[in-house]
């Protein structure tokens, strides 16, 4: 099939043939008018030491099959077609070490070649999103969910939502192809039939000769996995059995270009006149070629105007940052003026190659421990040296979009660090330099991204040369409002032990109401400000009534009282963001002590009681927002009671949640909570594999939850007089804790031992000898290695312990521990210290 490159850069036809189409146009072929997505290229042949000859496909062979679906009438409106037979191009027959470049090869299609690959692949006709719409996909239905309110396309949805629609669309498109070929009376074998034929043939061969046939599984296996990107990477080793229909060793187009200056014969066109073929000499189209970023551009002798370059770099742990970066790249390319885009991972960003006139845009996510992902870690490591090298002289415009989860105290830490680095080397910020996206509010933070893009776009196009735009903090409040909509209200039942102190673990018990939770899952808990703190804040800002509405300018923002705003939105224990409103509030230049919490600073500034509503809003929007904290559940509702949950919290002096919030609330008080949908250890709950659990401190919480679930199963069997033999193997546990916390660990461990759930238990309290759980694992090397051959390892604790444990396991097995069938859970102390 043909592919036309339109003047606006868009593609009409099959994107895989963009260069081939242009190469054949250079030989003098003129595309039909009007052009369509389904035009057929001519047949081109070239003999050694001769010029190419081409001929249009005869009319009787050009008939296409219209792809329709008997159960979906709108399918026909997609206008999909395909030709009747597989005409292979630029392929030769490789046998006996010789490649025959013009050996004829023809057959008939298998349905999946067309419905799963040619029409469906994202780099081919990419029709699956349109097919999904025919089947009922409606993005507006998704946008009714606040989490997806700002999405623009199917690709913005979480992968599991995309996969269900893409899989269905792929299956129905494949069915439509097979059905349409049958209706047309054209041969097309089905996927299952072809697979059955091959396996039967292979079985017969193995039975007769004692071995199976050599084969490339990516040719033999049906390609239904092609909607998953990794499918296209092939396998290792990439075995190519012979004989084989293979691509030419020498690309025929490149061969012609190298030889055409010495070939004397002209390019020839063959035209059918009656029953005869007549040759015509053709004058090829002369184009000067320039190579730019590996892409061929035709200039027809007219010098091209250099495009302004935009550098786009990203660092991503998953798919969110990558999706947004791909979207950013497309948007930049669509801008008027034809920007050239340099696109890559952050590790490959070389500041020395960035010109002062080239803007630098970056999309960066943050790992759970607040660092750069692996594809940005090398850049992070070089930051200190780069700061010394440039010493504030790197005057390049830049802007950063951060992708983070506010459930973590390290929220957008990597993007903040990158922002500080860019300021230190002398960068000139666009839109204040940094906008923070929050995946706790939206699966893909499109609202914040679109806001950031509007500033970036204006800067790139010159529509705001004197840009003073700032990020809308009202939007942050709106995002917080949407986040709160996903939280439920629970009730604190107890805190134990009653003695508290730095570093101790407190077990809190909550009543979640009717909500169920899965063992080993997580809950996000949101602190709030006390009524006494709210009252003091209202007085400090001269707000007469807690029920008075906050005067947001954005009319889409729901009505919100000052009382609600100060209790559940802003963190009065945090610090002001920048105090940019201070000169406006005190124009005389009075000096005030601004070191302290929001509430402390407000009460030092008595003049704020008489300020205008507009200035009061600036003060309010300069307050940091409250952030939820994530904790592993340490219980099983089946064991402790429906709706009840226990959570282990390590106390840290000054911690926003563990110290300030927990000390301010009492049994009976409310706590806002939200379940975390991802459960890292969920597969271990029903696993039949042996489990080795290595944990320290609050990292024992998920293991405690799992043990309680298993204990409850046995207790129920025991109460019914049943001799219940536990089906899954016992668990081996290495657990470290501080001596004063021992009681919180011992209760569940003792019961689990009594029921035979544990086959190997090492309790490791803190000790003067500094013997850690890692040492006990090493001491029992033989037992551990025997159990992990067909088992799983679950490691949960401080990052230093987890990293040290990984290194020791690698030494024990004589390789990289990451190659084992292990499950690592990084439950960092950082997630417990606020």
pLDDT, one tens digit per residue, over 414-430 is: 999 999 999 999 999 98
Looking at mean pLDDT, say which of 259-273, 382-396, 496-510, 703-717 comes out highest: 703-717
Domain count, the chain: 5
- pLDDT of 293 reads 36
User: What is the domain range of residue 390?
Assistant: 309-471
User: Is residue 520 in a domain?
Assistant: no
Residues 42, 162, single domain; the answer is no
Residues 819, 778, single domain; the answer is yes
Residues 139, 54, single domain; the answer is no
Out of 622, 639, 656, a domain closes at 622
pLDDT tens for each residue of 111-120? 888 888 889 9
DSSP annotation of 116 reads I
Out of 435, 454, 471, a domain closes at 471
Out of 605, 622, 639, a domain closes at 622
User: Is residue 523 in a domain?
Assistant: no
CATH code, 730: 3.40.50.80
CATH code, 129: 3.90.1230.10
CA dist., res. 400 & res. 415, Å (int)? 7
- Partnered with residue 489 across adjacent β-strands are 672
Residues 783, 727, single domain; the answer is yes
* Res. 78: pLDDT tops 60: yes
User: Is residue 486 in a domain?
Assistant: no
CA dist., res. 740 & res. 726, Å (int)? 33
State the residue for tokens 């990516």: 218
Residues 209, 115, single domain; the answer is yes
Residues 127, 233, single domain; the answer is yes
pLDDT tens for each residue of 333-373? 888 777 889 999 999 999 988 888 889 999 999 987 889 99
8 A C-beta contact, residue 453 and residue 158: no
Longest CA span, the chain: 103
8 A C-beta contact, residue 625 and residue 607: no
In the sheet where 505-511 sits, what is the strand order? Answer: 629-632, 522-526, 670-676, 488-496, 505-511, 644-650
How far CA 405 is from CA of 401, 438, 629, 667, 672, in Å, comes to: 13, 5, 10, 29, 17
8 A C-beta contact, residue 252 and residue 46: yes
Q: Are β-strands 428-438 and 397-404 bridged in parallel, bridged antiparallel, or unpaired?
A: parallel
The mean of the pLDDT values for the chain is 84
CATH code, 376: 3.40.50.360
Residues 332, 274, single domain; the answer is no
* Res. 222: pLDDT tops 70: no
User: Is residue 296 in a domain?
Assistant: no
User: Is residue 22 in a domain?
Assistant: yes
Residues 423, 379, single domain; the answer is yes
Q: Is the model more confident about 657 or about 724?
A: 657
Six-digit token string for 794 = 């679950």
User: Is residue 517 in a domain?
Assistant: no
Residues 79, 59, single domain; the answer is no
8 A C-beta contact, residue 430 and residue 359: yes
User: Is residue 666 in a domain?
Assistant: no
* Res. 549: pLDDT tops 60: yes
CA dist., res. 648 & res. 699, Å (int)? 9
Q: Kindly state the average pLDDT of the residues 500-505.
A: 81
Of the candidates 328, 336, 330, 400, the residue with the CA atom closest to the CA atom of residue 365: 400
* Res. 531: pLDDT tops 90: yes
Alpha carbon 415 to its chain centroid, in Å, reads 16
- pLDDT of 630 reads 86
Q: What angle do CA 335, 340, 341 make, to 5 degrees?
A: 95
CA dist., res. 129 & res. 73, Å (int)? 17
Six-digit token string for 478 = 């709106």
Burial of 524 (0-12, 13-18, 19+ CB in 10 A): buried
- pLDDT of 229 reads 59
Residues 5, 77, single domain; the answer is no
Residues 314, 445, single domain; the answer is yes
pLDDT tens for each residue of 678-716? 777 777 887 888 889 999 999 999 999 999 999 998 888
CA dist., res. 32 & res. 18, Å (int)? 16
Residues 133, 193, single domain; the answer is yes
CA dist., res. 432 & res. 100, Å (int)? 62
User: Is residue 788 in a domain?
Assistant: yes
pTM of this structure: 0.63
């Amino acid at each position: 099939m043909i592919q036309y490159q339109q003047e606006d850069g868009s593609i009409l036809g099959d994107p895989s043939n963009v260069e081939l189409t242009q190469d054949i146009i250079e030989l003098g072929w003129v595309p039909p008018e009007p052009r369509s997505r389904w035009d057929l290229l001519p047949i081109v042949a070239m003999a050694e030491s001769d010029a190419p000859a081409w001929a249009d496909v005869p009319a009787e062979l050009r008939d296409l099959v219209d792809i329709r679906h008997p159960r979906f009438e709108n399918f026909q409106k997609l206008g999909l077609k395909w030709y009747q037979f597989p005409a292979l191009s630029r392929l030769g027959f490789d046998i006996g070490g010789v490649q025959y470049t013009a050996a004829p090869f023809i057959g008939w299609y298998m349905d999946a070649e067309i419905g799963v690959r040619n029409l469906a692949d994202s780099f081919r006709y990419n029709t699956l999103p349109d097919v999904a719409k025919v089947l009922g996909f409606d993005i507006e239905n998704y946008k009714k969910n606040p989490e997806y309110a700002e999405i623009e396309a199917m690709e913005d949805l979480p992968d599991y939502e995309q996969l269900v629609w893409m899989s269905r669309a792929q299956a129905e498109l494949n069915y439509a192809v097979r059905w349409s070929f049958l209706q047309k009376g054209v041969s097309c074998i089905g996927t299952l039939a072809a697979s059955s034929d091959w396996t039967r043939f292979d079985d017969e061969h193995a039975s007769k000769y004692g071995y199976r046939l050599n084969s490339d599984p990516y040719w033999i296996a049906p390609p239904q996995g092609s909607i998953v990107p990794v499918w296209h990477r092939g396998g290792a080793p990439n075995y190519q059995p012979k004989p084989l229909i293979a691509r030419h060793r020498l690309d025929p187009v490149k061969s012609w270009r190298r030889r055409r200056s010495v070939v004397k014969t002209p390019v020839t066109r063959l035209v059918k006149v009656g029953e005869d073929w007549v040759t015509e000499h053709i004058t090829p189209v002369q184009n000067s070629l320039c190579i730019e970023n590996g892409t061929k551009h035709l200039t027809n002798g007219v010098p091209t105007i250099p495009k302004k370059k935009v550098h786009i770099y990203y660092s991503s742990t998953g798919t969110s940052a990558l999706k947004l970066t791909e979207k950013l790249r497309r948007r930049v390319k669509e801008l008027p003026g034809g920007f050239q885009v340099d696109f890559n991972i952050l590790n490959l960003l070389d500041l020395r190659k960035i010109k002062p006139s080239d803007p630098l845009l970056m999309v960066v996510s943050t790992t759970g421990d607040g660092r750069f992902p692996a594809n940005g870690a090398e850049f992070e490591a070089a930051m200190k040296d780069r700061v010394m090298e440039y010493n504030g002289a790197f005057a390049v415009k830049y802007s950063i979009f951060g992708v983070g989860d506010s459930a973590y105290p390290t929220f957008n830490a990597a993007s903040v660090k990158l922002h500080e680095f860019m300021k230190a080397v002398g960068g000139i910020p666009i839109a204040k330099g940094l906008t923070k996206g929050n995946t706790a509010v939206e699966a893909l933070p499109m609202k914040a991204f679109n806001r950031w893009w509007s500033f970036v776009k204006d800067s790139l196009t010159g529509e705001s040369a004197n840009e003073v735009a700032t990020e809308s903090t009202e939007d942050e409040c709106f995002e917080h409002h949407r986040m709160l909509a996903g939280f439920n209200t629970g009730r604190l039942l107890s805190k134990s032990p009653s003695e508290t102190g730095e570093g101790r673990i407190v077990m809190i018990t909550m009543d979640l109401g009717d909500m169920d939770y899965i063992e080993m899952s997580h809950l996000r808990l949101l602190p709030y400000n006390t009524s006494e703190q709210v009252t003091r804040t209202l007085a400090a800002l001269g707000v007469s009534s807690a029920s008075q509405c906050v005067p947001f300018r954005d009319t889409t923002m729901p009505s919100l009282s000052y009382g609600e705003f100060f209790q559940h939105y802003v963190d009065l224990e945090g610090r002001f963001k920048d105090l940019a409103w201070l000169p406006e509030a005190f124009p005389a230049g009075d000096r005030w002590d601004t070191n302290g919490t929001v509430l402390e600073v407000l009460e030092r500034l008595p003049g704020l009681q008489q300020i205008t509503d507009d200035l009061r809003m600036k003060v309010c929007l300069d307050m940091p927002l409250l952030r939820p904290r994530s904790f592993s559940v340490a219980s099983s509702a089946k064991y402790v009671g429906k709706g009840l949950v226990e959570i282990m919290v390590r106390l840290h002096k000054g911690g926003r949640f563990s110290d300030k919030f927990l000390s301010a609330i009492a049994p009976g008080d409310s706590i806002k909570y939200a379940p975390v949908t991802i459960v890292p250890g969920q597969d271990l709950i029903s696993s039949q594999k042996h489990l080795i659990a290595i944990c320290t401190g609050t990292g024992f919480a998920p293991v405690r939850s799992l043990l309680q679930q298993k204990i409850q199963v046995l207790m129920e069997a025991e109460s019914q007089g049943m001799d219940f033999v536990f089906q899954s193997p016992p668990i081996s546990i290495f657990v470290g804790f501080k001596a004063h916390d021992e009681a919180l660990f011992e209760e569940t461990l003792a019961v689990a031992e009594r029921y035979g759930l544990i086959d190997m238990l090492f309790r490791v309290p803190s000790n003067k000898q500094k013997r850690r759980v890692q040492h006990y694992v090493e001491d029992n090397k033989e037992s551990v290695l025997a159990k992990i051959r067909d088992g799983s390892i679950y490691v949960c604790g401080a990052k230093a312990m987890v990293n040290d444990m990984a290194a020791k396991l690698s030494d024990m097995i004589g390789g990289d521990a990451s190659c084992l069938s292990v499950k690592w859970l990084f439950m960092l102390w950082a997630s417990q210290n606020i």
